[in-house]
Structure 1
């Protein structure tokens, strides 16, 4: 691991499965190394997969098979900027349809409980629009959505 800063994500034995899923789902993502425990540890035995090095959208990550003591929460999420509705839908449905769970405003969780914000660039532009009334309309529209619908955001922006 050569990076100065790497995101460490805790899993209950599923780090390789999760990393493999992320590598297959997101561009510029890959599993780069799998490391086995050199000895027994509280949640595993010598030889078990202890850590998995991977990237998600170019971001270096380490999956740690630490056991059931800790779980993911919405306090941490990956925010993925999408360029169009097709990309938004593909990522959203890939996460949801593989054991994930929909939430609000473009948020969802994967089957391991990790939160993702699938955020179209059009949404970000709309809710930061210089016309405050237009931005508010787009924001209010977003607040009614689970998966973001770019056409509805753009319609709200226009009034």
Structure 2
């Protein structure tokens, strides 16, 4: 099947600004097309569309973008950039950026830790107290 599936993000007049912001944060990212209504862009090689749709709809946590991170440095970088300029920290690795888009910044080791019957309860208790994930604390919990 050759049909590509990708998200369209509805912005209130800030699609181009959002695309530029996201492309400045993620490697292997670029704006691929831009007009006054729609901007298409790639983040880490994945296609997105930004639509200047107006004020009718707002982002909420029902949909979030998940980023798997191998290292604490990756988590710290993305967390700091995405919460800058008015973004808001959430709990358990969730945040909202300055445009209201929800993100989950998740260490790749988390599923392995949660699948270990001897560690899962402690890991769960540890990450429930965190905003930004701390890989070392998760591993040592």
Q: Does 1:22 align with 2:26?
A: no
Which residue matches 1:121?
108
Unaligned runs of 5+ in 1: 36-48
CA contact (8 A) 2:84 2:98 kept: no
Please tell me whether residue 139 in structure 1 is matched to residue 86 in structure 2. no
The structure having more radius of gyration, on CA atoms, is 1
- 1:87 is the counterpart of 2:74: yes
What root-mean-square deviation, in Å, do the aligned CA atoms of Structure 1 and Structure 2 show? 1.4
C-alpha distance after superposition, 1:118-151 (max 9, x if no partner): 001122321223xx23112111110000000111
Question: How many residues were matched structurally?
Answer: 140
Give the stretch that moved more between structures: 20-29 or 107-116.
20-29
TM-score by structure 1 length? 0.83
**Which residue pairs with 1:55 in the alignment?**
42
TM-score, normalized by length of structure 2? Answer: 0.94
